[in-house]
Amino acid sequence: MPFVQLGGCLMLSFVEVAGLRKYFPVQRGFLENAFSRKHEFVRAVDDVEFAIEKGETFGLVGESGSGKTTIGRLLLRLIEPTSGEIIIDGKDIVKAHPNELRDFRRQAQMIFQDPMAALSPRMTIGQAIKDALDIHQIGSSNTRKKMVLQTLERVGLTPAELFYDKYPHQLSGGQRQRAVIGRAMILEPHLVVADEPVAMVDVSIRAQILDLLLLLKRDLGLTYVFITHDLATANYFCDRIAIMYLGKIVEVGLRDEVFNSPKHPYAAALMSAIPVPDPQYKHQRMIPRGEIPSPIRPPSGCRFHPRCPKAFDACPMKEPGMTKISQTHFVACHLFDTA
Amino acid sequence: MVEPLLNVQNLSVEYASRRGQVKAVTDVSLTLDKGSTLGIVGESGSGKSTLGFAILNLIPSPGRIVAGKITFDHTDIINQNEDNMRRIRGSQISMVFQDPLTSLNPLLKIRDHFTELFKVHSPSMSKKDAISRAGELLDNLGIARERLSDYPHQFSGGMRQRVMIGLALALNPRLVIADEPTTALDVIVEAQILELMKRLKDEYELTLILVTHNIGIIAEMADRIAVMYAGQIVEVGPTNDIFADPLHPYTKGLLESAPNIIHPERSMRPIHGSPPDLITLPPGCKFHPRCPRAFEPCPIREPLPVECKHRLVACHLYN
Amino acid sequence: MVLIGGVTILTVVVMTIVSPYISPFNPTAINAGPVLQPPNSKFPLGTNHLGEDMLSRVLSGGSVMLQVAVLAVVICSITGVSIGLMGAYAGGLADKISSLVMDSIYAFPGLVLAIAIAAMLGPGVINMALAIAVVYVPSYFRVVRSQVLTVKELTYVEAARALGAKSRRILTRYILPNLLPSVVVVVTLNFADAILMAAGLTFLGLGVPVSTPDWGWDLTYGRQLLPSGAWWVIGFPGLMIVVTVWGFTILGEGLSELLNPKLREIA
Instruction: Give the domain ranges of chain B.
Output: 6-80+216-318
pLDDT at residue A161, rounded to an integer:
92
Interfacial C residues in 117-176 facing B (CB < 8 Å): none
Strand partners, B38: B209, B224
**Alpha-helical regions (H) of chain A:** 30-35, 68-75, 98-107, 115-118, 125-136, 141-154, 160-164, 173-185, 203-220, 231-237, 255-260, 265-273
A36 pLDDT above the threshold of 80: no
- Predicted pLDDT at A339: 52
* 3-state SS, residue C88: helix
Higher pLDDT, B236 or C28: B236
With beta carbons less than 8 A apart as the criterion, state whether C163 and C105 touch: no
Searching chain B, which residue's CA lies closest to the CA of residue C265?
Answer: B18
Average of per-residue pLDDT across C218-224: 80
Q: Report CB contact under 8 Å: C265, B15.
A: no
Query: Which letter, b or e, does each residue of B193-206 get, where b requires 16 or more Cβ atoms within 10 Å of its Cβ?
Result: bbebbeebbeeeeb
Question: What integer pLDDT is reported at residue C265 of this predicted model?
Answer: 43
Q: Give per-residue burial for C57-72: e unless 16+ CB within 10 Å, then b.
A: bbbbbbbbbbbbbebb
Averaged confidence pLDDT in chain B? 89
Residue A11, pLDDT score: 59
- Confidence check: pLDDT of A2 > 70: no
Quick check: B289 and B282 in contact, CB under 8 A?
yes
pLDDT of amino acid A86? 93
CB contact, 8 Å: B19 with chain C? yes
Output phi, psi for A247, to 5 deg: 90, 0
Of A76, A135, A169, the CB nearest to C261: A169
Model confidence, pTM: 0.83
Tens of pLDDT, residue by residue over B42-75, are 988 888 989 999 998 888 878 889 999 999 988 8
Q: How confident is the model at residue B41 (pLDDT cuts 50, 70, 90)?
A: very high
Rounded Cα–Cα distance for residues C69 and C156 (Å) = 36
* 8 Å CB contact between B164 and B185: no
For the ranges A99-108, B34-43, C78-87, the maximum mean pLDDT occurs at B34-43
A72 and A264 Cβ atoms separated by less than 8 Å: no
pLDDT of residue C264: 46
Fill in the DSSP letter of residue B290.
G
Taking CA atoms, what residue in C is nearest to B20? C267
- B6-10, B253-257, C39-43: the lowest-pLDDT one: C39-43
Name the CATH superfamily for A8-245. P-loop containing nucleotide triphosphate hydrolases (3.40.50.300)
Q: Does A110 touch chain C (CB under 8 A)?
A: yes
Instruction: Report pLDDT for C267.
Output: 31
Q: What is the mean pLDDT of chain C?
A: 80
pLDDT, residue A225, reads: 96
Chains touching A by CB (3 or more pairs below 8 Å):
B, C
Least confident of A36-50, A109-123, A186-200: A36-50
For residue A295, pLDDT over 70 is answered with yes
Adjacency order of strands within the sheet including A15-25: A41-52, A15-25, A83-88, A91-92
Angle between helices A173-185 and A125-136 (to 10 degrees): 10
- When mean pLDDT is compared over B175-184, C172-181, C215-224, the highest value belongs to B175-184
> What subunits touch chain C, counting only 3 or more CB pairs under 8 A?
A, B
Map out the domains of chain C with their CATH numbers.
64-212 (1.10.3720.10)
For the cut 90, the answer to whether the pLDDT of residue B104 exceeds it is no
If you average pLDDT over residues C224-249, what whole number do you get? 81
Q: Are B197 and B178 in contact (CB under 8 A)?
A: yes
> How many alpha carbons fall within 13 Å on the CB side of residue B306?
11
- Give the angle subtended at the CA of A184 by the CAs of A181 and A189, to the nearest 5°: 130
pLDDT of the residue at A220: 92
Is A105 in Cβ contact with C164 (below 8 Å)? yes
| pLDDT above 80: residue A283 | yes
Whether ipTM > 0.90 holds is no
Q: Flag the least confident range among A56-60, A156-160, A187-191, B155-159.
A: B155-159
Q: What is the H or E stretch that residue C223 is in? A: helix C215-225
What's the CATH class of domain B6-80+216-318? alpha beta
Q: Is C267 on the interface with B (CB under 8 A)?
A: yes
Percent of chain A with pLDDT over 90: 61
Q: What percent of chain A has pLDDT over 70?
A: 93
Domain boundaries of chain A, sorted by first residue = 8-245
What are B177's strand-pairing partners? Answer: B95, B209
What is the reported pLDDT for A6?
A: 43
The answer to whether the CB atoms of B215 and A230 lie below 8 A apart is no
Q: How far apart are CA A16 and CA A33, in angstroms?
A: 37
pLDDT at A149 over 90: yes
- Closest partner residue to A105 (CB to CB) among C163, C261, C265 is C163
List chain C residues with CB under 8 Å of A78.
158, 161-162
Q: From the candidates A69, A204, A236, which should be mutated to test the interface with B, based on the most B CB atoms within 10 A?
A: A204
Whole-number Cα distances in Å, B314 to A57, A228, C172: 41, 36, 53
